[in-house]
Structure 1
Amino acid sequence: MQLHSLAPFTIFKLLLLTLQLQAIPILTTLSPCKNSCGTIPINYPFGLEDGCGAPQFRHMLNCSTDLFFQTPSGAYKVQSIDYDKKSMVIYDPAMSTCSILQPHHDFVMTDIQSAIIPPSQDTVFVLLNCSIDSPVLNHYKYLCFNLAGHTCDELYGSCNAFRVFHLMTNSSPPCCFTSYNTLKFMSMNILDCTHYTSVFNSNNLKGVGPLDWVYGIKLSFSVPDTGCESCKQSGGTCGFDTDTEGLLCLCSTTTNSTRECAAGSIISKGVKDVPLTHYLLVLLLVAFLHTWLR
């Protein structure tokens, strides 16, 4: 059968099918991963969209009006991320501080979060208004440590928010300076302390009163060694396959061809570049149809 004997409708269907097959990768190509949320830069190993960053940090960050760190106990506003020091500072809106007393609250992380982005060693959790029957004052009293010479009396006397504990009992209820591991394995109900606060940069608190402490939680993260540097040097963004969680180098369609981001390699979210010959085939079919219909 000669081509000119084909019905116009048949050729039109062939053309539409060809265009459809070529257009699928184009339409599903997404822009590269977002690199900021407000004023906070988002770099590897973090990502806002699923498939960006390292799979171990999947779904940990959420960017709405602000950047939030997600854990089973809630969303905590991210104040800063230091990629050189590999640290992130978050703030618990339900945490008590020297100026405000908040209701009872637990800070809970997943097992993987506790392993790859735990609170830093210089972050101290302070358990307040503890019962004399609290396990950290009895069998587990070794979990409490000295914080640069600071005392419970100092906390209850210096902080307006904590003076209520002193006024209620006409004495200084026990408190406990401890690490995150204590909260990790025992809830506030088990600890039998009504409130908690946390401070970081505890190595610099000697001689510094509670009013001048930096309240919040500093997390210390590790960066997986997955060959991400070579991807970034090629102009790509490190990401992963959302099904297999295997490393992908996400590349923009406008990125110069390199060994990592060459034509035919993985681009945004794993969609492949369309070879130039496919576009030429479409153009030839359009030209043929135009000539045949004349």
Structure 2
Amino acid sequence: MNFWLPAFIIFELLISTLHLHPVFSLPACRNLCGGIAINYPFGLDDGCGAPPYRKMLNCTGDLFFQTPSGNYKVRSIDYDKKNMVMYDPAMSTCTMLQPHHDLVMSAIQSVLIPPSPDTVFVLLNCSIDSPVLNHYRSLCFNFSGHSCDELYNACPSFKIFHLLSTGYPPCCFTGYDTVKYMSMNILDCSHYTSLYNADDLSGVGPLDWSYGIKLSYTVPNTGCDRCAQSGGTCGFDTETEGMLCLCSSSINSTRECAGGSVISRSRSRGHNRTPLTLFQAFGFILGAFLNLFL
């Protein structure tokens, strides 16, 4: 009997086994940043949360929402109402005047987590040639009975526009779609501000408005509740973006931790791999030989 043929076959099987079933060390997903809880569908670490929200949040001391136009500080996340409030540091407010800054969100962000309907964008100090004062004037709307003159009169930072002209320059209360499709340069307005919870601001002066941008998000239906109830954390495979239930045992199930079907861990979330040691491999081969010839 050829001694080396079965040895070669066993060696090939061992290499195949080592390749298909490595062991991974998977740290738990971070669930807090700057005092704000991080729950599904959001995640700070790659492979945590839902794939469509991948890398939208960044934790550098404080929590930031990342967009193509920059990082916006997150003030709060309400998981029951499914909204997030963020603040644009380059945005003007009633007490601070800033150069204009375009809000640019990615295509998937505009669909999954756009500014809420009760978030109002205010275009300030607009030229008489501005599109929103001419062909697109229908994009401006009445906001809870408030007027441009009220802003210019009540806000210390906006009074300068009145002082630099003989009257009050035009402004426009508008929605997200306006600033989504037209930049501030096209709109021909020198500054902007934004406020949220607009439906609750009737009779409330500009000094007491809530300045910022509220985003409304949707939660993908991937069976995350089942995973959470089993003690796991919802995540995904970073290569296939298929759902994973991340468990404390470091064995990831497709759906739940207790009694779930264990997936092949041939793909990792970018963490360390711990292969079999040379001593373990030698023991495996020796045992196979003994079984074969004795």
The question of a shared fold, defined as TM-score above 0.5 by the shorter chain, is answered with yes
1:243 to 235, 239, 247: 239
Does structure 1 residue 265 correspond to structure 2 residue 262? yes
Given that residues 47 and 237 in structure 2 are in contact (C-alpha distance below 8 angstroms), is that contact kept between their aligned partners in structure 1? yes
- Please give the root-mean-square deviation of Cα atoms over the aligned residues, in Å: 3.1
Matching residue of 1:142: 138
Tell me: CA distance 1:43–1:169, structure 2 relative to 1, closer, same or farther (3 Å). same
Q: Take 2:266 and 2:58, find their aligned partners in 1: how far apart are those partners?
A: 18
1:253-276 CA distances to partner (integer Å, 9 max, x unpaired)? Answer: 179x9972258825999659xxxx
Matching residue of 2:189: 193
Which structure features the higher share of helix residues? 1
Q: Take 2:151 and 2:142, find their aligned partners in 1: how far apart are those partners?
A: 13
SS in 1 for 2:30: coil
Matching residue of 1:111: 107
Calculate percent identity across the aligned residue pairs.
Answer: 66
Given that residues 25 and 271 in structure 1 are in contact (C-alpha distance below 8 angstroms), is that contact kept between their aligned partners in structure 2? no
Aligned counterparts, 1:227-238, within 5 A: 227-238=223-234
Tell me: CA distance 1:269–1:100, structure 2 relative to 1, closer, same or farther (3 Å). farther
1:104-126 CA distances to partner (integer Å, 9 max, x unpaired)? Answer: 21011011101010000100000
Given that residues 34 and 42 in structure 1 are in contact (C-alpha distance below 8 angstroms), is that contact kept between their aligned partners in structure 2? yes
How far did residue 192 of structure 1 move? Answer: 0.3
Matching residue of 2:290: none
Matching residue of 2:199: 203
1:52-84 CA distances to partner (integer Å, 9 max, x unpaired)? Answer: 111110110000111000000000000000000
SS in 1 for 2:158: helix
Does structure 1 residue 45 correspond to structure 2 residue 32? no
1:97 to 93, 98, 107: 93
Aligned counterparts, 1:1-294, within 5 A: 25-26=22-23, 28-253=24-249, 260-261=256-257, 262=259, 265-266=262-263, 285=283
Given that residues 248 and 270 in structure 1 are in contact (C-alpha distance below 8 angstroms), is that contact kept between their aligned partners in structure 2? no
Given that residues 29 and 268 in structure 1 are in contact (C-alpha distance below 8 angstroms), is that contact kept between their aligned partners in structure 2? no
Query: Is there any run of 5+ residues in structure 2 with no aligned partner, and where?
Result: 1-10, 270-275, 287-294
Tell me: CA distance 1:149–1:234, structure 2 relative to 1, closer, same or farther (3 Å). same
Tell me: CA distance 1:65–1:250, structure 2 relative to 1, closer, same or farther (3 Å). same
Matching residue of 2:6: none
Q: Take 2:154 and 2:163, find their aligned partners in 1: how far apart are those partners?
A: 13
1:204-256 CA distances to partner (integer Å, 9 max, x unpaired)? Answer: 1111000000000000000000111111111111111111111111111179x
Q: Take 1:50 and 1:268, find their aligned partners in 2: how far apart are those partners?
A: 16
Query: Is there any run of 5+ residues in structure 1 with no aligned partner, and where?
Result: 1-13, 273-277, 289-294
How far did residue 38 of structure 1 move? Answer: 2.3
Runs of 4+ deviating beyond 6 Å: none
Tell me: CA distance 1:252–1:137, structure 2 relative to 1, closer, same or farther (3 Å). same
